Amino acid sequence: MVNAKEEILDTIHAAGKFLEDIAYARICVLDDNFDKKEVWIFCKHGLQKNLRALDFDYDEGYGAQELFGVVVFTDGSWLERYEYDGAESWVHKRTPTEIEVFGECDVQ
């Protein structure tokens, strides 16, 4: 079992970000009846209230995915939720640079 609020805060900090770096976010929670209830998190509007809504424990291991969403930072990078083989987690992503995509080739 893991606490959803602690997990997202730990992931934000592991990405080198702070709550103030959040531009916007949308997190959907799948409840015990497999119904989605949405939790919106905005940096300046109701952030603490919505973080309190994520203060619950869930099983992030094998089973149906319970959390879905994306957290977008002011620098354009983001966290997105993924599930693989029954386990779910957050992953930090950013837009690759042109060099990372094409390498240092001379395109004519």
Give pLDDT tens digits for 69-86.
Answer: 899 999 999 999 988 887
Give the residue-averaged pLDDT of 44-68: 77
Residue 17 forms part of a structural domain: yes
d(CA 28, CA 57): 15
Residue 107 forms part of a structural domain: no
Q: Which has more pLDDT, 13 or 68?
A: 13
- The three-class DSSP label of residue 2 is strand
Q: How many structural domains does the chain have?
A: 1
**Encoding tokens for residue 69?**
């969403």
What Cα–Cα distance (Å) separates residue 94 from each residue in 1, 12, 17, 58, 89? 29, 13, 13, 27, 17
pLDDT at 16: 96
The boundaries of the domain holding residue 77 are 2-102
Share of the chain above pLDDT 70, in %: 79
Say if residue 51's pLDDT is above 90.
Answer: no
The values of phi and psi at residue 10, to 5°, are -60, -40
Residue 46 forms part of a structural domain: yes
How far does Cα 94 stand from its chain's mean position? 13
Structural Rg of the chain based on CA atoms: 16
Q: Which has more pLDDT, 81 or 87?
A: 81
Residue 83 forms part of a structural domain: yes
Give the residue-averaged pLDDT of 50-69: 81
Task: State the chain's mean pLDDT as an integer.
Answer: 83
Q: Which has more pLDDT, 22 or 43?
A: 22
CB count in 10 Å sphere of residue 41: 22
Residue 108 forms part of a structural domain: no
